[in-house]
A and B are shown apart, each in its own frame.
Chain A
Amino acid sequence: MMPSMTRAAATSFDLSNGLRFVVAEDHAAPVATLGLWVRAGVCDEPDDCRGMAHFLEHLMFRGSENFAPKEHTKRISLKGGSCNAFTSFDMTVYHESFPSHALAEMFELESDRFMRLKLDPESIEIEKKVVLEEIRVYENQPMSRAFRRLLRALGGEHPYALDPLGHFDNVESCRFDDLATFYRQLYRPGNTFVVVCGDVDIDEVKKLAEQYFGEWSDPEGLSVPRAVAPFRLPTGDQIERVSIEVPVLARAHTLPSSDKVDHTALNLLCALLADGEASPIRETLVKKKRLCVEAGGMNYNLLHGGALVFFGAFLPPGKFEPRHAVIRDICSQLAEEGPDEALFEEKLRRFKKRFAFESYSSNFQMLQFGEAELHEGDYRKYETRMVDLAEVTPARVQNLARELFVTENTLELSVIPENQKWYMPLVGLAMKAVQK
């Protein structure tokens, strides 16, 4: 089912060098988006160079053989377009939205920096300062600092527990040679795919792909890809103290790698329990029992595993256990009895609406097709999502819940504000007594 009547089914083609192109034509507005997805993220960094993928992402805007520093963004801006990039655990993505008539110029700009990046020591030193400021600014916001600490406390040294921005010391000591090697080994056609969405013509895309990326080739003597262990959360109960102001509780279940997950059932499972104001977890914690001020759920489903997380936040004072119990009971009930069939229609309708809204934005579609290609191994999974959802049975969701919601795959986490005194009244009283 197409969400929009103006969009044709997406197609793909591969160049002889292995570079894949995914193309989704939609002529509703004279806009297009180009996204280049490189399989180069935190997982691909050497242990002593944490932050290299992100640092290189910055340097990709510092000039290539045929375009001076700043020219990439300037040329796109001149057309009314915008460009940016982001680095994550498994990939770095470069993207631009622009008037569709500028497609050829975008190909020219991107191919130059992907094939002929100019790394020079002076730019590296200036950009290093910029990256360090970026790391500092997140570290100086208590909320984002708390999130980083929490991930680290739960995931240890696994790349998924690290901040993609990198370690301050590693970035500071990062050298020209390290970056050049990382670029040469990972920025290659066999490790990249391109997604083009919007007002484009497939034949033109094919022509431009061949013209600008046809001569790109994988370098000789590639190193073996870095082995990444499956991500696993600890199990049982855990208490963490971080720089937040309001206590948070979470129930988290480790997910297998994205190629082994029933994505459709997982999306539905998460939606059935925690999507929307009337979802069982939110309704019970926030509205019926008034134990929390906010509650919800999310799933992170990545190449080497991930987590399905349900959470609540509350204003102190209050105990964690009754709140954990609510989420625990709701999850157990679903695993034992299966989901409420009547809720299925409602959730499907919500997915259908979201899917339709996504079709207004070529940038959003580029991201969705890219995610499906990277994490599910097939960009078409994005388009068939509604069909797949309609085919999921309550039993399939229940089976997944039974598989995930077992004690040996469950973490109950209590996160306490590090500056909060409320939870230790007895310790406080004891200290006062001693002081007297």
Chain B
Amino acid sequence: MSNSLPKAEYLRKDDGTVLLCHERRDVPVVSVLLRIPGGNLYNPLDRPGLAALATDLVGEGPVGTTPMEWRRITEKLAAEIEFDSGPDYSTIRFSCLSENLGELCNLTRRAIEEPGLPRSEWKQIVKTMRASLREHWAQPSSVSNHLSAVQSLGYSHPLAHAPFEKALAKATLEQGVAVAGQVLQKQNGTCGMIGGDIDSEDGFKYLSELVGALREITIPVDDAPEPKPSAARIWIADNRKVDQVFFTLSRRGICAGDPDRIALRLANYMTGGGAFESRLMDKVREEAGGTYGIHSRLQEQRLETPFKISSFTKVERLGEMLGIVDQTLKEIVEQGFTEDELKTARGNLYGALPLRLTSPSAILDWVAAGIRAGLDQDALEQDWHAYETMPLEKVNAAARRVIGDGEFRKTFVGPAQEIQRQVSAAGGVEIFPFKTMPDKWPHAMISER
């Protein structure tokens, strides 16, 4: 294996914008991505999802071109220009054959500079999102995901502020247009990436034009809000139609750039992040046959994100499975991992990175994530090599930090009565019907932020 990772060229501009280019000429395609801080942070408290609707509206094309014309023009060039809104950023992305790059960059620049924001499309955009949300909230696994986020962070936190149909049904065009203006502001930390069949000189020229089309900032985005975990440690969304319980355990996690990140990633891999190689998978699935999958998640984002363990099991076995999970975590904290486990985790995390970095977009995403965490490419490379040398005692200390005293907040989706029979009520229990939407969950805190 090569001892170094692929590199991207980058340019840091005076206004805090970063441009990245990775040249790879053997495949005749180019991918472009702009990532703009903000996104869901611009959602009004009573309108989660409005930023996503607003970016969809921007995606209807520039002034002077009807939405249908816009689609036909871009499709003629075999491209779809996607506008999207994430937890604390918005993205604009497209890919195309390299021969069409100039034309597509011009089109996209026009759409950013002078978005048409057509009134005619608003109702249809809202209806589309309502339909998808209606399906989304009927799935127990989706509800389980959101429950845990709101329980750990609070309803209004941008990483937990999930859209639901009723909140968006009354969203007005005026509200959408106002937010559309905000999500296209050039913030400090805006990142432009281009990769594929292009050299850095042309790549930076195109990116500068695209980023230059973003409007100058007038409404700065709120900074990271503090997580506000719920008082009750146990939440149950009562769903009597399922014969399994979907559960998530969560506690405070980390932010990108955490100084212990390498030890933490290794510890997470061995706990439940490393699929079949993890302790939890081994004990709960491979030995007890209690589930099809159990995973721990350590996320490194700009905002602190909870550390989570999620799984599902048949209703009657819930108590037994939670017991195995508790015992496994206790053993990790008290006895630590073994050198053999660490060897596999090291091997995987070290070896997997070059296997993942095989396309320009993957390389650019990786470099951009590093920059957001304050890490340049040398630091990223050092991180990669650090997997090989991280000592067991540091990894065990990281595991103790993230698992802590084992006092996780817990959410359950399933039949409440059977769940209560198998779960300790210590720390307080809140029960509500499965179909309850997040603004009515026990910890809505709708007036905060």
Q: Which A residues fall within an 8 A CB radius of B?
A: 3-6, 28-31, 61, 69-70, 73-74, 77-82, 97-99, 101, 125-134, 136-137, 140-143, 243-246, 276-278, 283, 286-288, 290, 293-294, 313-315, 346, 349-350, 352-353, 356-357, 359-362
Contacts and interface: CB of A to CB of B under 8 A. Distances in A.
Residue of B78, B80, B135, B243 with most chain A CB atoms under a 10 A cut-off: B78
B1 A30 contact: yes
Contacts, number: 188
A293 B131 contact: yes
A245 B134 contact: yes
Nearest to A350: B78
Contacts of A288: 68
Interface in B1-55: 1-2, 24-29
B131 A313 contact: yes
A352 B97 contact: yes
A93 B439 CA distance: 44
A349 B68 contact: no
Interface in B129-171: 130-132, 134-135, 138-141
Contacts of A362: 358
Contact of A126 (B79, B287, B348, B358): B287
B277 A352 contact: no
A140 to B, nearest CB: 4
Contacts of A134: 292
Nearest to B348: A77
B335 to A, nearest CB: 20
A315 B124 CA distance: 10
Interface stretch (B217-225, B248-256, B349-357, B366-374): B349-357
B141 A361 contact: no
A277 B80 contact: yes
A278 B354 contact: no
Given A78-B343, A140-B242, A360 B292 contact: no
A48 to B, nearest CB: 23
Given A245-B135, A346-B76, A349-B97, A101 B1 contact: yes
Contacts of A125: 289
A141 B276 contact: no
Residue of A82, A246, A278, A352 with most chain B CB atoms under a 10 A cut-off: A278
Interface in B267-303: 274-277, 282, 285-292
Contacts of A360: 27, 358-359
B138 A142 contact: yes
Interface string B406-449: 00000000000000000000000000000000000000000000
Contacts of A29: 354, 357-358
B358 to A, nearest CB: 4
A80 to B, nearest CB: 2
Contacts of A70: 276, 282, 286
B2 A30 contact: yes
Residue of A78, A99, A314 with most chain B CB atoms under a 10 A cut-off: A78
B290 A129 contact: yes
Contacts of B358: 28-29, 31, 360-362
Contacts of B2: 30
Nearest to A76: B348
B96 A80 contact: no
Given A133-B314, A143-B135, A356 B351 contact: no
Given A143-B138, A346-B78, A359 B95 contact: no
Nearest to B31: A357
B90 interface: no
B68 A278 contact: yes
13 contacts: A29-B358, A73-B277, A78-B344, A80-B350, A126-B287, A133-B289, A140-B140, A140-B242, A283-B68, A293-B131, A294-B131, A356-B28, A357-B27
6 closest A-B pairs by beta carbon, nearest first, are A80-B351, A129-B289, A360-B359, A78-B347, A349-B78, A134-B292
A80 B352 contact: yes
A356 B29 CA distance: 7
A134 B349 CA distance: 27
A287 B67 contact: yes
B401 interface: no
Contact of A143 (B139, B290, B313, B351): B139
Contacts of A3: 27-28
A271 to B, nearest CB: 11
Contacts of B352: 80-82
B359 to A, nearest CB: 4
B26 A357 contact: no
Contacts of A350: 75, 78
Contacts of B351: 78-81, 99
B355 A31 contact: yes
Contacts of A315: 127, 130-131, 134
A74 B243 CA distance: 32
Contacts of A80: 347-355
B244 interface: yes
Contacts of B338: none
Interface string B332-351: 00000000000110011111
Contact of B289 (A5, A130, A278): A130
A243 B26 CA distance: 47
Given A5-B26, A136-B314, A353 B96 contact: yes
A352 B80 CA distance: 15
